[in-house]
Structures are given as structure tokens and as C-alpha cells.
Amino acid sequence: MFLTNAGEEISLHHISVLVRDYVNKAEIGKTGSSHLLRHTMATLMLEGGADIRFVQEMLGHASLAATELYTHVSIRMLKQVHAATHPAAHLEKKKPSPQIEDDDAAREELLAALDAEAESEDDEKS
């Protein structure tokens, strides 16, 4: 699918080396090769609400268990859901700070998205 300047097929190893070099040059504090991009894509899709079975298919995993490994990275989203929905998260409210106000906006946005998803699922069941 990809060709070198000489018109020859680029090997998977060559692509990995190129990506690794670009990641290093970007100085983002991470190392990796094309797998880093694959992992990032899968994580962002899951955080964005993609069905894990679609991500599984895109990654070419035979087992859903292999794809489920990507879900552990989504701790940030898990914390947001907890803060937005768990009753104990609302027990001790401190004086709002700018960070908390931003969290409140994110919480409202997340709750609206969850409500829309629930309505969509209800419509599909009907």
C-alpha cells in the first residue's frame, strides 16, 4: 500500500522505524512506534463512546479480551463518570474553584451524553 521513493513496497518494520523516529523527534515524553498510534486511536475511540466490538474489528483482534486491554487506560473517563453519577461524590462539596467549575461543566456535558445514549438505547428497543 505504501511505497518508498524508489517505488518499492515499504515493510512493516520500516514503517515502525519511521513512526518511532517521528515520535522521538516530537519530544512528547513517550516512546513507541506504530503501535503507540494504534493504541492511542483505540483508547480515544473507546473514550469517545465507540462500541468495543467495532474497535475490536478495526484492530483485527480475534478475541474481545485482547481489545478489553485498551479499556484500562480510560481511567480519566471512569473518574468523570464517577464524579457525575455516584451519590457519594456529592457528599462533601467544597467552595467552588475554577477547576471545580470546569469539572461541573464537564459533569453536565457527560450527564447529557449519558441521557442521550440511554434514550437512543430505549428507542432501539422499541
pLDDT in tens, 83-120: 888 888 777 655 555 555 556 677 777 777 767 666 66
User: pTM above the 0.85 mark?
Assistant: no
Q: Residues 46, 70: contact at Cβ < 8 Å?
A: yes
At residue 23, the pLDDT reads 85
At residue 57, the pLDDT reads 93
More confident residue, 4 or 52: 52
At residue 126, the pLDDT reads 56
Q: Which residues of 70-95 are buried (b: 16+ CB within 10 A; e: fewer)?
A: bbeeeeebeebbeebeeeeeeeeeee
Instruction: Place 14 in a pLDDT band, splitting at 50, 70 and 90.
Output: confident
